[in-house]
Amino acid sequence: MAPQGPRLALALLLCLAAACLPLSTADAQHAAFLKRHLDFPKSGAENDGLYCTATMRQRSLRCRGRNTFLHTSEARLRAVCGGEPSHGTVTRESLAAFPLTVCTCLPKGPCLYRGISTTARVRLVCRDGRPVRYERRI
């Protein structure tokens, strides 16, 4: 016998929630990626160490061992995700080099960072055509 009344409504609600879960997870991962890695244009600071310390604090990413900020547009990062897969089905490598800053937490002090600006190609994990994780520079 088919579910009726409240059971049918509950079954439909559960199916709808299950269908929305992957979308909301991808959205949340993409938003977290942008918060943790995208800074375009690069916000100003006297030097890379002050830039890293201030940016990590502003984004509530304090006291992490290492973090990389990419100084390019979100559109250019999405273009990387539209490329051919490399190193698996979800990983993509940029063809172009991007300006970036690598921030490394200093062993002593209250969440102070050393920063190094460079330009490099990057490897990203993509989902639904959007970056969700920074893998490394290449």
Q: For residue 86, what are the domain limits?
A: 36-137
CATH number of the domain that residue 109 is part of: 3.10.130.10
User: CA 93 → CA 43, 77, 90, 129, 131, distances in Å?
Assistant: 25, 10, 10, 13, 11
Domain assignment of residue 117, yes or no: yes
Asked whether residue 13 is assigned to any structural domain, the reply reads no
The number of domains in the chain is: 1
pLDDT of the residue at 90: 87
In a domain, 99, yes or no: yes
For the purposes of burial, counting CB atoms within 10 Å of the CB of 40, is it exposed (0-12), middle (13-18) or buried (19 or more)? middle
Give yes or no for a cis peptide into 41 (omega within 30° of 0). yes
Q: Tell me the pLDDT of the chain (138 aa) as tens digits.
A: 555 656 655 454 444 444 444 446 889 999 999 999 999 999 888 999 999 999 999 999 978 899 999 999 999 999 999 977 777 788 999 999 999 999 999 988 788 999 999 999 999 999 999 999 999 999
Residues 6 or more apart from 109 whose CB is under 8 A from it? none
Is there a domain that residue 56 lies in? Answer: yes
**Does some domain include residue 80?**
yes
Q: For residue range 61-98, what is the model confidence (pLDDT) as tens digits?
A: 978 899 999 999 999 999 999 977 777 788 999 999 99
Q: Give domain status of residue 22, yes or no.
A: no
Residue 30 forms part of a structural domain: no
The predicted pLDDT at position 20 comes to 44
Whether residue 6 is contained in a domain is answered as no
Looking at residue 85, what DSSP letter applies?
Answer: -
Which pLDDT score, from 0 to 100, does residue 132 have? 97
